Amino acid sequence: MLDLSLPPSVTVSPTVVGVSVLTDDGIIVQISLPRPRGLHDLPAEEVADRAMTLAKAALKTASETLEAA
């Protein structure tokens, strides 16, 4: 899975969904999520939408965890 576009971007492969985000500090954060079973029949756009939602939650949790450390 190779994606040369600028973030935010979503890549969808048969086994992984990747979300890249460019932060305000100029840092690119890549989140790779296993593509859950049962989503293989969904259009890539719908999988990408779900991945963005999961990625937002993951970034929020990571940020809260880092702030507590």
Q: What pLDDT sits at residue 57? A: 83
List, for residues 50-62, the tens digit of each pLDDT value: 777 877 888 888 8
Q: What pLDDT sits at residue 40? A: 67
List, for residues 1-38, the tens digit of each pLDDT value: 445 555 678 777 778 878 887 777 887 888 887 766 66
Q: Kindly list the distances between the CA atom of residue 48 and the CA atoms of 5, 15, 34, 42, 67, in Å, as whole numbers in the listed order.
A: 15, 13, 12, 10, 28
Q: What pLDDT sits at residue 60? A: 85
- Rounded Cα distance, 37 and 22, in Å: 28
- pTM to 2 decimal places: 0.56
- Cis geometry, peptide bond prior to residue 8 (ω within 30 degrees of 0): yes
Q: What pLDDT sits at residue 39? A: 63
